[in-house]
Amino acid sequence: MLQVIAATILLGIPLRVFGLQLPEPIFPMALAFAWAVIRPSILAPFGILLLGLFLDLFWGGPLGLWALCLLIAYGGALAGRSMMAGQNRAILWAWYGVTTATAMVAGYLFVMLDSRSTPGLVPMAWQFLATIVLYPYAQRLIDLFEDADVRFR
């Protein structure tokens, strides 16, 4: 969690390299996916809620927006956990993409209702791409759990 918060703050600094700004991925998405795949937990939803609230406070968006989107992604991953179990890396990556897309579509709808205006699809696509390339981080968390459990050895 601390790593995610630190990475989000680090990519939030106003820096432009050759006229391009830094990407802004949703780092907590990796946690929401990995925690759901690893095992159902009582603490995980509240951790994700806190991370979402941090994102909203840090990015200055509507408070609760990312908290709700991340929880929807977590719920989706938790519901499809039995289908993901035992799958290889590429399939899990695809599931991660589906989960991220679900969260972003939910965010799109909530923002549309909140501001009565449609967000641009191009910036959404960029953020989606920047987020799905973070899957190796989620995979590492899953691998850490499986390596620590003697039943998976």
Partner 1 sequence: MSLRDNPLGELKVPLTWAAAIALVVAVVAATAILLSDRRETFKAEAYGVSRRASDKVLAPVGDVLATPGRWTGAGVDTIRDYFAAGSQNRQLKAELKEMRQWRDVAIALKDENARYRTLLGLKTDPPIPMVAARIVTDSRGPFADTRLANAGSERGVKAGNPVMSENGLVGRVIGVTNGASRVLLLTDIASRTPVMIDRTNARAILTGDGGPNPRLDYLRGRDPIREGDRLLTSGDGGVVPRGLPVGTAVKGLDGRWRVVLASDAAPIDFVRILLFEDFTQVVNQKELSQTPTPPPTPGPGGATVKPEVVAEAPVPAPAPKAPPAAAKPSSTKAKSADDAAPDTATKPAAKPNPKTGDETSAKSAPARTPATTPAADRKPAAKTSVMAKPNGPPKPKPQPKPPADGAQT
**What's the closest the beta carbon of residue 34 comes to partner 1, in angstroms?**
15
**What's the closest the beta carbon of residue 104 comes to partner 1, in angstroms?**
8
* Sign, Cα dihedral of 140, 141, 142, 146: positive
**What's the closest the beta carbon of residue 23 comes to partner 1, in angstroms?**
9
**What's the closest the beta carbon of residue 91 comes to partner 1, in angstroms?**
22
Say which residues have a Cβ less than 8 Å from residue 72's Cβ, sequence separation at least 6: 102, 103, 106
CA distances from 114 to 63, 111, 129 (A): 11, 5, 25
Contact 123, 111 (CB under 8 A): no
Nearer to partner 1, 90 or 122 (CB): 122
Nearer to partner 1, 12 or 136 (CB): 12
β-strand pairing of 20-21 with 16-17: antiparallel
CA distances from 99 to 5, 9, 13, 52, 94 (A): 20, 23, 27, 15, 9
Contact 127, 25 (CB under 8 A): yes
Chain residues binding partner 1 by CB under 8 A are 9-10, 12-16, 21-22, 24, 39-46, 48-49, 52-53, 56-68, 71-72, 74-75, 78, 107-108, 110-111, 114-115, 117-120, 122-124, 127
**What's the closest the beta carbon of residue 58 comes to partner 1, in angstroms?**
6
Nearer to partner 1, 92 or 106 (CB): 106
Nearer to partner 1, 4 or 89 (CB): 4
